[in-house]
Amino acid sequence: MCPRCVAVVCVVSAICVGCAKPKQSSAARSDSAVAFQAAAAPASSGLRDYTIGANDYAYTDLPLHAPSGWLTLRLVNTGTEQHMLSVIPVPSGYTAATLTDSMVHLHVPGNAKSLPGVDVVSPGDTGAVTAYFPPGDYVVSCFVKSPDGTYHVVKGMAGSFDVVTYSDTGAAPPQSARPRGGRGTSGGSSRPAASGGGTAKPNPQQ
């Protein structure tokens, strides 16, 4: 073969080698599929159990989205005052933003109905509640009173998250197995409570 032909053959071979895509092994494809399925499966991935922080005066680590069905909310008090977690589904005529603003101004709509939430949790303690959450938007807030007489929600301790429809709604735990709170925590009621000596539930028509 002439020198020129040899050079052409070498160049073409190098181009073909450079363009060739490495084949993904069946094991690698399988691992990728498993990882995707795990990320999309809230019930089996422990994503029905949420830990929320409560400091003075804000919530941290609130979920953005949660699957519908049975959920466990744990409230860890990292602040210096008592805190709680009141959970209210956004009623007709409101959005999560407008309801949050309404709560901050101590106006609870007459058509608002509370879900079970976490009652008063002392500093350093953890309280929890397990409840059934239908799809929809939810607003959380703290109606504990500070020693200065101001409700924590007025100081901005409120937030929201939404619950999206999911086929697997989880399993309702036995009553005896449902998580309970620490000192001063009922673990199963969303009724606002007070700290520093005061009633905590504002007048819905206020």
Domain membership flag for residue 40: no
Is pLDDT above 90 for 51?
yes
Cα(94)–Cα(79) distance, integer angstroms = 30
pTM score, whole prediction: 0.66
Q: Note the pLDDT of residue 30.
A: 39
Domain membership flag for residue 152: yes
Q: What is the mean pLDDT of residues 171-190?
A: 48
Q: What is the mean pLDDT of residues 26-31?
A: 42
Residue with more model confidence, 3 or 53: 53
Domain membership flag for residue 62: yes
Residue 111: CATH number of its domain? 2.60.40.420
Domain residues for 70?
47-177
Is pLDDT above 60 for 20?
no
The total number of structural domains in the chain stands at 1
Asked whether the bond before 57 is cis by omega within 30 degrees of 0, the reply is: yes
**In 3D, which of 150, 127, 139 has the Cα closest to residue 77?**
127
Domain membership flag for residue 110: yes
Q: What type of residue is 186?
A: S
Domain membership flag for residue 1: no
SS3 content of the chain, % helix, strand, coil (to 5): 25, 30, 50
pLDDT digits (tens, 9 = 90+) for 92-125: 999 999 999 999 999 999 999 988 999 999 999 9
Domain membership flag for residue 92: yes
Query: Average pLDDT of the chain?
Result: 74
Is pLDDT above 80 for 33?
no
Domain membership flag for residue 57: yes
Cα(80)–Cα(95) distance, integer angstroms = 31
Domain membership flag for residue 26: no
